């Protein structure tokens, strides 16, 4: 008989079914688990056996529980994160490209503008930045993927699991667009989204851009940290550093 595991993620609901066999009747209820903005609850039920319990091997139940333990502890791409440990190391340590053991002297937030369906592209970018050095003296750089509200049911499921795995996604309250205010929505949302974090610089780039983070850090290290715009200023045709 099947073992049914129902996982409810508030704002989205996902039901997963896993099949095991048992030799006795019992009900196991897992208490709700709070993780960030998501609440988990799970009911694990073993259906009544059809055959007499003497027809079942006494080792099946322990094996079933072992399989459930492995399920909860191991993760890969697009699967649930580990709550008790991990069978692999996360690609980005603590969801940051750069981590410092001391209080950072320079903090940069990089928003990578993309769309919800570009799962493979986001994973490629994570791998690419993971190959760069993780420390630049006292600097810390956080990379976040930015896109507008989800429009498909499968996006709600896959993006939710991606957020739980990496916690590096920002979903804006807008309709996906290229030249209709997405960049403005991103920059204007940063003070509310990161009210507890102090970033010296906030930038955006597209998902076809590869940043040389070390060079970026060094180019900003000695610059002013108030009222600064850094980049291509239209209608100028060259890179400029200007103060408002």
pLDDT digits (tens, 9 = 90+) for 176-193: 988 889 999 999 999 999
Is 52 found in the same domain as 141?
no
Tell me whether residue 229 is in a domain: yes
Is 63 found in the same domain as 183?
no
Output 26 or 226, whichever has higher pLDDT: 226
Tell me whether residue 41 is in a domain: yes
Residue 240's pLDDT is what? 55
Output 224 or 72, whichever has higher pLDDT: 224
Tell me whether residue 78 is in a domain: no
Residue 89's pLDDT is what? 34
Q: What is the pTM of this model?
A: 0.55
Residue 167 binned pLDDT confidence (cut-offs 50, 70, 90)? very high
Query: How much is the average pLDDT of 197-213?
Result: 92
Is 239 found in the same domain as 119?
yes
**pLDDT tens figures, 141-154:** 999 999 999 999 99
Tell me whether residue 94 is in a domain: no
Residue 27's pLDDT is what? 38
Tell me whether residue 140 is in a domain: yes
DSSP 8-state class, residue 55: G
Residue 1, token pair as written in the block = 């008989």
Tell me whether residue 26 is in a domain: yes
Strand partners, 171: 147
Is 238 found in the same domain as 134?
yes
Q: Judge whether residue 241 has pLDDT over 60.
A: no
Tell me whether residue 65 is in a domain: yes
Residue 34's pLDDT is what? 42
Among the residue ranges 83-92, 104-113, 143-152, the one predicted with the least confidence is 83-92
Distance in angstroms (rounded) separating the CA atoms of residues 106 and 103: 9
Output 90 or 123, whichever has higher pLDDT: 123
Mean pLDDT of the chain: 69
Residue 65, token pair as written in the block = 């529980």
Number of domains in the chain: 2
The residues near 161 (Cβ < 8 Å, ≥ 6 apart) are 14, 78, 79, 80
Q: Judge whether residue 82 has pLDDT over 60.
A: no
Residue 80's pLDDT is what? 39
Distance in angstroms (rounded) separating the CA atoms of residues 203 and 13: 34
Query: How much is the average pLDDT of 53-65?
Result: 55
Residue 105's pLDDT is what? 82
Is 34 found in the same domain as 118?
no
Residue 237's pLDDT is what? 55
Residue 156, token pair as written in the block = 């709600």
The residues near 131 (Cβ < 8 Å, ≥ 6 apart) are none
Strand partners, 170: 146
Is 21 found in the same domain as 109?
no
**pLDDT tens figures, 30-48:** 344 444 444 444 444 444 4
Query: How much is the average pLDDT of 120-139?
Result: 83
Is 32 found in the same domain as 124?
no
Domain containing 198 equals: 100-243
Residue 122 binned pLDDT confidence (cut-offs 50, 70, 90)? very high
Is 110 found in the same domain as 197?
yes
């Amino acid at each position: 008989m099947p073992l049914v595991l129902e996982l409810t993620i508030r704002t989205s609901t996902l039901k997963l079914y896993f099949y095991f066999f048992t030799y006795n009747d019992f009900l196991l209820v897992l208490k709700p688990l709070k993780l960030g903005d998501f609440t988990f609850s799970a009911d694990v039920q073993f259906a009544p056996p059809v055959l007499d319990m003497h027809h079942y091997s006494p080792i099946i139940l322990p094996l079933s529980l072992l399989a459930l333990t492995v399920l909860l502890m191991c993760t890969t791409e697009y699967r649930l994160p580990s709550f008790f440990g991990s069978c692999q190391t996360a690609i980005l340590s603590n969801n940051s490209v750069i981590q410092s053991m001391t209080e950072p002297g320079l903090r940069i937030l990089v928003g990578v503008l993309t769309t919800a369906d570009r799962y493979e592209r986001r994973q490629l970018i994570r791998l690419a930045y993971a190959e760069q050095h993780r420390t630049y003296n006292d600097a810390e750089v956080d990379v976040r993927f930015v896109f507008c509200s989800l429009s498909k049911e499968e996006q709600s499921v896959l993006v939710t699991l991606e957020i739980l795995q990496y916690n590096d996604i920002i979903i804006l309250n807008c309709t996906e667009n290229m030249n209709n205010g997405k960049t403005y929505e991103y920059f204007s949302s940063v003070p509310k989204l990161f009210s507890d974090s102090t970033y010296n610089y906030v930038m955006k780039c597209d998902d076809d851009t590869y940043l040389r983070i070390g060079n970026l850090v060094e180019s900003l290290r000695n610059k002013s940290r108030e009222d600064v715009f850094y980049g291509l200023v239209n209608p100028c045709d060259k890179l400029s550093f200007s103060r408002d």
